[in-house]
């Protein structure tokens, strides 16, 4: 058995919405050190949500230094670095890489009017045929157009627009890159052929040269430069791969790399990613290349996830742990005796794409308890997952068993509810660090530690438990699922009419 100081190590960096996480793994996927460093989201106007990339970098430097301070984790043993990041950034940088403005992040909707106009002028079908995604304000392209129209002085100075992970790769290596998995945020990225479409870029009023060169996610794009080594404590010359989308890295880190396998997201937000061998699109879902070469992901990204329960605890049970709250929910039968929760706590993404949608409790009465409401929150998030899975079925894409990731997967009750609502077997991998592990596996494969992704997954990921759906509960939930869908249809006109 190798001494820890002799082992080859991998560093995974996850650039999330609320914090960056850094984790060091050995070749077998064991976490040797990890750190989380927070940073703020700025909300300067209604519908705006932005972050400062320089604050990301400061947090990452702190996080890397922290993991390198752990006994036995030596910079010279780190063989490769992978970086994943949140989706749909549009970071304007000049030719020296200087950030010219905060980036609008994935939940920002400032470009709504631009999207309406562009779809009318160019035609949403024309864009969808190339991009495989609808032209919506959260994506990167409308944000680029917003800079062009609202801040031409910034746009004129912009050398490249970077994604979140590509900005960190730039800070580490001095190389500007665009990984394939994050290409889905750019509507002149050809989803099937994995290249830029120059003609569509020009129709949109943009140009391909605004984007860095495209790289496979596991391609080594550069090595840690002297200044980055000084700031982070990393060894100068350490290889860095292009990295990828956080959801895609999390999918890999949950063990999903073959067609038909599905990841279920149980983090702050909810959702799912179905692995495919073809670029099968649906206008109400999200299509991206997987970080695994030759595969694509049909994704559903919902606002309601662990964040919905976190909100409930904060407001209605701050003195209770999550386990204590879910024990209350466990006493309530499936369907919460008619209490339904719409988990649209910040509008909703797929499959309804309604920024005006609101969170709703339906069915409250004097005989309902906090336990009913907690159960409804857990079930509402599961209903949103099922809504996305049903929508994928409309595109001819069927999910098999679901590999769960995120903090919610630690709850046996919540996992069982999701199994019962969807009728799917749910498998829970051992690691709570699926996203940083996925980024590390990209680095390990790109640097030759693993010969392929089959070896990478088999060596590092183990399933700790399997939860099968209860058929009787599934029948109950099918009826409540129809009520869940009907409630939104009945309320969506009210949501858009009264934007309170």
| Tens-place pLDDT, residues 201-245 | 999 999 999 999 999 999 999 999 999 999 999 999 999 999 999
Q: Give the domains, in start order, of the chain with CATH numbers.
A: 4-242 (3.30.420.40), 259-434+462-500 (3.30.420.40)
The pLDDT of residue 330 is 97
What is the per-residue DSSP string for 403-468? EEESGGGG-HHHHHHHHHHHT--EEEES-S-HHHHHHHHHHHHHTTSSSSHHHHHHHH--EEEEEP
Give which of 477, 466, 300 is closest to 397, Cα–Cα.
Answer: 300
The model's confidence at residue 385, banded by pLDDT at 50, 70 and 90, is very high
Question: pLDDT of 407-457, one tens digit each?
Answer: 899 999 999 999 999 999 999 998 779 999 999 999 999 999 999 999 999
| Position 357 pLDDT exceeds 90 | yes
Is-above-0.95 flag for pTM? no
At a CB cut-off of 8 Å and minimum separation 6, what does 277 contact? 259, 294, 295, 296
The maximal CA–CA distance of the chain, rounded, in angstroms, is: 66
What does the buried/exposed string (b/e) look like for 373-384 if buried means 16 or more CB atoms within 10 Å of the residue's CB? Answer: bbbbbbbbbbbb
The model's confidence at residue 7, banded by pLDDT at 50, 70 and 90, is confident
Share of the chain above pLDDT 70, in %: 99
For the residues 35-39, what does the mean pLDDT come to?
Answer: 97
d(CA 414, CA 329): 10
The pLDDT of residue 5 is 54
For the residues 172-188, what does the mean pLDDT come to?
Answer: 98
The pLDDT of residue 1 is 43
Question: pLDDT of 309-336, one tens digit each?
Answer: 999 999 999 999 999 999 999 999 999 9
Give which of 390, 356, 373, 391 is closest to 498, Cα–Cα.
Answer: 356
E strand intervals along 267-398: 270-276, 286-289, 296-302, 340-342, 360-362
The model's confidence at residue 346, banded by pLDDT at 50, 70 and 90, is confident
| Position 6 pLDDT exceeds 90 | no
Of the ranges 148-152, 265-269, 394-398, 474-478, which one carries the lowest mean pLDDT score? 265-269
First to last CA, the chain: 62
Q: Which two tokens stand for residue 53?
A: 């990339």
| Position 3 pLDDT exceeds 60 | no
The pLDDT of residue 269 is 85
């Amino acid at each position: 058995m190798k001494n820890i100081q002799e082992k080859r190590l991998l560093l995974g960096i996850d650039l999330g919405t609320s914090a960056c996480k850094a984790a060091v793994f050995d070749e077998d996927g064991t976490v040797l050190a990890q750190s989380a460093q927070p940073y703020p989201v700025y909300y300067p106007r209604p519908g705006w949500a932005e972050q400062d990339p320089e604050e990301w970098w400061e947090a990452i430097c702190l996080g890397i230094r922290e993991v390198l301070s752990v006994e036995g984790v030596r910079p010279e043993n780190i063989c490769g670095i992978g970086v994943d990041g949140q989706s749909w950034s549009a970071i304007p940088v000049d030719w020296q890489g200087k950030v010219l403005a905060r980036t609008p992040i994935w939940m920002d909707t400032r470009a709504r009017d631009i999207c309406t106009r562009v779809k009318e002028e160019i035609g949403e079908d024309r864009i969808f045929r190339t991009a495989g995604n609808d032209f919506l304000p959260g994506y990167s392209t409308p944000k680029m157009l917003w800079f062009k129209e609202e801040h031409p002085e910034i746009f004129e100075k912009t050398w490249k627009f970077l994604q979140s992970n590509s900005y960190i790769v730039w800070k580490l290596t001095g190389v500007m890159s665009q990984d394939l998995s994050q290409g889905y945020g750019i509507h002149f990225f050809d989803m099937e052929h994995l290249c830029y479409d120059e003609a569509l870029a020009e129709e949109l009023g943009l140009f391909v040269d605004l984007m860095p060169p495209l790289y496979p996610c596991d391609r080594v794009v550069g090595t840690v430069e002297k200044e980055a080594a000084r700031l982070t404590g990393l060894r100068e010359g350490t290889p860095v791969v292009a990295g990828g989308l956080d959801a895609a890295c999390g999918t890999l880190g949950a063990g999903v790399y073959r067609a038909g396998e599905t990841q279920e997201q149980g983090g702050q937000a909810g959702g799912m990613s179905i692995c495919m061998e073809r670029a099968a699109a649906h206008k109400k879902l999200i299509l991206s290349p997987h970080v695994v070469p030759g595969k694509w992901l049909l994704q559903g990204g919902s606002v309601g996830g662990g964040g919905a329960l976190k909100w409930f605890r904060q407001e209605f049970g701050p003195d209770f742990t999550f386990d204590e709250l879910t024990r209350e929910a466990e006493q309530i039968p499936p369907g919460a005796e008619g209490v339904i929760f719409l988990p649209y706590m910040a509008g909703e993404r797929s499959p309804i794409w309604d920024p005006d949608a609101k969170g709703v409790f339906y069915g409250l009465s004097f005989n309902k308890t906090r336990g009913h409401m907690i159960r409804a929150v857990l079930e509402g998030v599961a209903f949103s997952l099922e809504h996305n899975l049903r929508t994928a079925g409309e595109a001819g894409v069927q999910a098999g068993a679901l590999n769960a990731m995120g903090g919610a997967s630690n709850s046996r009750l919540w996992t069982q509810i999701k199994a019962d609502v969807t009728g799917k077997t749910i498998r829970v991998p051992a690691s709570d660090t699926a996203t940083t592990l996925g980024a590390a596996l990209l680095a390990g494969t790109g640097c030759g530690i693993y010969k392929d992704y089959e070896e990478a997954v088999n060596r590092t990921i183990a399933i700790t438990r399997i939860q099968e759906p209860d058929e009787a509960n599934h029948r109950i939930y099918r009826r409540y699922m129809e009520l869940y869908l009907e409630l939104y249809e009945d309320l969506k006109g009210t949501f858009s009419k009264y934007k309170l």
